[in-house]
Amino acid sequence: MSKNNIMNTYSRVDVTFEKGLGSKVYDINGKEYIDFVSGVAVNCLGHSHPAIIKALNDQGNNLIHISNLYWNTNQLDLAKKLCDYSDHDKVFFCNSGTEAVETAIKLARKYGINNGTSKKNEIIFMENSFHGRTMGALAITGQEKYQKDFMPLMSGTKSSKFNDIDDLKNKIDENTCSVIIEPIQGEGGIIPAQIDFLKEVKKMCEKYNALLIFDEIQCGVGRTGSLFAYKKFEVIPDVICMAKGLGGGFPIGAVLATQKAADAFAPGDHGSTFGGNPLGCSVSLAVLNELIDNGVLDKVDEKSNYIINNLLILKEKYEVLDKVQGMGLMLGIKLSIDKSKLISKCFQKGLLLVGAGDNVVRILPPLNVTKEDIDKFIYILNEVLNELCN
């Protein structure tokens, strides 16, 4: 099997997968792995979930794509469901998280011009953040390693220290059109925002008539134990960027906005050929139905507590495990040894994990993960830590 035709943009592990079921995936040799990467928080219902398969089959036999020059029923139903379960009024559909961020950037810039002057175009982002790899998203990503080879980036951006309200107060002014924040920094190392910090950011945005944007691409769609991460942080943003788990593995993204924010856009300001297509929206509706109506979300906190308690036992046992952080089923373990060693050994034993930030290993199981698979995860992790420490 030739791998020479794929562009060299990922440091891939030398394994080829061909099948998945629930929390498990199988490579071309039939080896089984417990998947606690979940496509990096994408496969919220695991692999080959019956509800997703049914939605793909049923809608595939009906209508796959229709232009946004016309309405389609699934798009209308999905928009209504998202708005009904949030504090927001309007939705724009796209295909990915980075596209959602690009939409939010344009919405913020347009809002600034409509509600100020041509100078009200500055976007404040957080240090250590990650919002995507397109040129606009890169410009508001607070990690130089992703930016350095693609300069010059979009102008009109400022960085501010995460969880440091004094620094933000020194940066925000009348020219600020928006502040963008991940409620939990994912790529940066599973670092939650402080509730008091977010409340003060909201006040500053209201003072300067700037939009508060939450990037919930990784931490949203039930990852924290609520459908929207902002519900856990007691702050309502003006705009929310969504993707990843929204389609449970099928590409779909969305931007939710309050009426005042959404009103900035007019026909022609933005678009997406495939955004909100009937097939993607059908799958997303099936995912939300499982999460909300069939009770998957109701069990996330219980599973989270079970994992955290077991990780804390391992922390007492192994000094190399410094810290357990995050919430819901978006957790991280901070190590005092090279994270790649642990990830590699876990892979050899049939457990998939992914790193983040400063020596943090992310734990991102499907939201419907079973206790049996959690126990297998803990068993393998204990084995690997024991080998690394002895």
Binding residues: 97-98, 130, 133, 215-218, 272-273
Q: Which residues are annotated as a binding site for N(2)-acetyl-L-ornithine?
A: 133, 272
**Four-residue CA torsion sign, 146, 147, 150, 153:** positive
Peptide bond into 237 cis (omega under 30): no
Distances 245 to 128, 216, 218 between C-alpha atoms, Å: 22, 10, 8
Q: Three-class SS of residue 243?
A: coil
Contact between residue 292 and residue 298 where contact means Cβ atoms under 8 Å apart: no
Residues facing 229 on adjacent strands: none
Return all residues near 358 (Cβ < 8 A) that are at least 6 apart: 189, 334
* Residue among 371, 388, 372 at smallest CA distance from 361: 388
Distance between CA atoms of residues 94 and 182, nearest Å: 19
- CA 64 from centroid of its chain's CA atoms: 26
The pair of structure tokens assigned to 177 is 């059109």
Return all residues near 368 (Cβ < 8 A) that are at least 6 apart: 22, 44, 45, 46, 49, 290, 296, 299
Query: Is 175 exposed, middle or buried, given 0-12, 13-18 or 19+ CB atoms closer than 10 A?
Result: middle
Q: Which residues are annotated as a binding site for pyridoxal 5'-phosphate?
A: 97-98, 130, 215-218, 273
Number of H helices, E strands in the chain: 13, 17
The one-letter amino acid code at 238 reads: D
Distances 208 to 161, 167, 171, 237 between C-alpha atoms, Å: 19, 16, 12, 15
Helix axes 371-389, 339-348, angle to 10 degrees: 120
